[in-house]
Structure 1
Amino acid sequence: MKTKKAMVAAMMLIALSACKQVNQPAEVIDLPRTQTPGSVAKAMDGFLTEAAADSLDIHSVMVVKEGSVIYSRWQSQGVDTVPHILNSVSKTFTATAVGMAIADGKMALTDKVIDFFPDKLPAEVSDNLKAMTVRDLLTMTCGHDEEPRAARTADQDWVTAFLAHPVVHKPGTYYLYNSMGTYMLSAIVQKVTGEKVVDYLTPRLFEPLHIDKPRWDESPQGINTGGWGLYLKTEDLAKMGQLILQKGLWNGRQLVSADWISEMSKKQVESINPGTRLEQAEERGLTTETSDWMQGYGYQMWRCRPGCFRADGARGQFIIVVPEKQAVIAITSDVEDLQGELNLVWKHILPVL
């Protein structure tokens, strides 16, 4: 039988433990909600009405201001509990994995791409291929004159096919949107960590953000596609945007280096629309005044005309981070006119933030 003194001591320990639990900040599972301001509600009505009039099929919108969701809506094919195809928004997650692997001492920006795959090199390795670095892959300046889309077949090794593709330009000097370059980043992360990107990110990013381990498509070689193929829910996108807005800090933990977030999101190179060659810009009427794809490219992220930046995917998938407004806008869609969609964001949403 316990003595009275022992029982009192045990009760004090329980009380102290309870106090500690009460005083500890609760982890964020879902982003906190706050009432939608009238100005935001009116602006969102205008955004969605004009989008519908322009045949822009918006699936979901979530607006976060100072860490709280001030507006959210799902419509058309959008469902709050169902992960949405992200297309090239996937690239930003791959770049995050690269930054983490660099911080872990597994690789460096200046590492040569050929050094990771000595057994997959072509018979003749050009000087330009020898010069290609991890940074060149991140900035879409690996030196290809055309993206090696033909490498994406079921009957060949995608890394081997990428390395065999002619490197016409000196790496670092010529911008060409290149999803296979992002696949190579995924392959490198898997090579140096021993884990697929989705598995490497799970304890480091997805679990701390309370994002269910997502689906991410793979190549025939069992490597996450990197530049596409990731599926997440709208709130997951908003959380990622909030993490980036907070320079990689989440619930008191530095999940991603603040310096890496800065490098990802700043202009590293000049840029042009995906699928457009640099010399075609003028004849297509693309200018820095009218195009959000000509504001510069970071590490798998785009700069925007209003001075913010975004993760960007085909058919209108966006994580837009607006540091000056301490805001994040997450959008999923199925549209052809991505510039028209962004124009409506700048017209209706940005002014009320």
Structure 2
Amino acid sequence: MAFDDIAADPAAHGFNSGFVGKLDQAIAGGTLPSLHGLVILADGKLVLERYVAGEDESWGRPLGRVDFDTGTLHDLRSVSKSIVGLLYGIALKLGAVPAPDASLVVQFPEYPDLARDPQLGKRKVAHVLTMTLGQEWNEDLPYTDPANSEIAMEMAADRYRFILERPVIAEPGTGWTYTGGASALLGRLIEKGSGLSLLDFARQHLFAPLGIDTVQWISGADGTYSAASGLRLRPRDLAKIGYCVLQGGSWDGEQIIPPDWLAEAFTPRVTCFDDIGYGYQWYLRASTDGNGPRRFAMGNGGQRLILIPERKLVIAILCGQYNHPDQWKTPAAIMLEHVLPGLAG
């Protein structure tokens, strides 16, 4: 089924009666800084939708003050990675991309010199999906710094060679390193196998079936769509994708995302930090509060897509604190001070 976009009573779908009022007070009081959009679905119903005017940008380009509403596109930044992970599963079902256990370097015969390197030959597509390539990559630097690996990739004459030839510093599969280049490789494999651009593939196989007709995917100076951070969607449309995932990949009677891929994608493969695991381009957290495990995507500036399957909840959060050290605080406050406490027992 598709989700019902007619506003429903949160109290009829698992929230206590004070939830909305408390959240609105926080928004009005400025305690959720740089919140731009919030959409919450419960049981497939739209139980809360809020938009707050504020300063925004598009992939680093200032947009000034934006009066957000249901039709306004917003940067997803690295939430793009998780959507690319879903697209890879769709492409795999279509036979357009290699399976996770396939050799990575074999997929890039245009670089025969790299194929001769025995160290690089150890890497598989699974190591791309899980960001466990064991290579040098540093995105801890600000994204305004050309030494940041994602920025260096964008500036490289050949982004895929740049990614593939990063020095090997660990055995593949033994540790997680946040790597935008991994998502770029997935996007390239989708394009190579399907014969479509990443955006056209997404439109044909994910966006159009979900009724998502307004989308932008930012490309770099070389014209390549940024699989790591370039997708822009409306908040409701981001929530649609989340709800499709909650429905086992189905939408309005049509199977969009293969359910077996979702099961694989949401299997923890590696610990990335604290109690958070990582699957295939998605973050995973076990249940710690009685609400069941969470699956989520995160992006620079406070972008979040959070799924709580046991509660049939989808939370899409869009914020504007790009590159800010406290960018995590607004989405954390929405979840820890409002959504989770607002759930009825």
TM-score (norm 2): 0.81
Residues matched between the structures, number: 307
The CA deviation at 1:339 is: 3.9
Mapped to 2, the partners of 1:260 and 1:89 lie a distance apart of 18
Mapped to 1, the partners of 2:89 and 2:116 lie a distance apart of 28
1:256 aligns to what SS in structure 2?
coil
Q: Which of 1, 5, 8 is residue 34 of structure 1 equivalent to?
A: 8
Mapped to 2, the partners of 1:31 and 1:318 lie a distance apart of 20
Do the aligned residues in 2 keep the contact of 1:33 with 1:70 (CA within 8 Å)?
Answer: yes
Mapped to 1, the partners of 2:109 and 2:134 lie a distance apart of 19
The CA deviation at 1:349 is: 0.7
Mapped to 2, the partners of 1:111 and 1:221 lie a distance apart of 28
Q: 1:124 to 1:91 in 2, by over 3 A?
A: closer
2:174 aligns to what SS in structure 1?
coil
Structure with the larger strand share = 2
1:57 maps to which residue?
34
2:85 maps to which residue?
95
The CA deviation at 1:177 is: 0.4
Amino acid of the structure 1 residue aligned with 2:335:
V
2:130 maps to which residue?
139
Q: Which of 58, 61, 70 is residue 47 of structure 2 equivalent to?
A: 70
Q: 1:157 to 1:213 in 2, by over 3 A?
A: farther
What CA deviation, in whole Å up to 9, does each residue of 1:121-161 have, x standing for no partner? 54684323111111111111011132443642445010111
Q: 1:124 to 1:166 in 2, by over 3 A?
A: farther
Q: 1:206 to 1:300 in 2, by over 3 A?
A: same
1:112 aligns to what SS in structure 2?
coil
Amino acid of the structure 1 residue aligned with 2:133:
C
1:228 partnered with 2:229: yes
Q: 1:135 to 1:60 in 2, by over 3 A?
A: same
Gaps of 5+ in 1: 1-26, 273-287, 289-293
Gaps of 5+ in 2: 55-67, 139-148, 288-292
Mapped to 1, the partners of 2:111 and 2:79 lie a distance apart of 28
Structure with the larger helix share = 1
1:117 partnered with 2:124: no
Do the aligned residues in 1 keep the contact of 2:283 with 2:297 (CA within 8 Å)?
Answer: yes
Q: 1:165 to 1:140 in 2, by over 3 A?
A: same
Aligned-residue identity in percent: 27
1:328 maps to which residue?
314
1:350 aligns to what SS in structure 2?
helix
2:179 maps to which residue?
178
Do the aligned residues in 2 keep the contact of 1:116 with 1:191 (CA within 8 Å)?
Answer: no
2:161 maps to which residue?
160
1:312 maps to which residue?
298
Do the aligned residues in 2 keep the contact of 1:120 with 1:159 (CA within 8 Å)?
Answer: no
The CA deviation at 1:233 is: 0.2
Question: For residues 214-225 of structure 1, what are the structure 2 equivalents within 5 Å?
Answer: 214-225=215-226
2:145 maps to which residue?
none
Q: Which of 302, 327, 337 is residue 347 of structure 1 equivalent to?
A: 337
2:226 aligns to what SS in structure 1?
coil
The CA deviation at 1:309 is: 1.3
1:64 aligns to what SS in structure 2?
strand
2:217 aligns to what SS in structure 1?
coil
1:5 maps to which residue?
none
Q: If you compute each CA radius of gyration, which structure gives the higher value, 1 or 2? A: 1
2:170 aligns to what SS in structure 1?
coil
The CA deviation at 1:32 is: 4.0
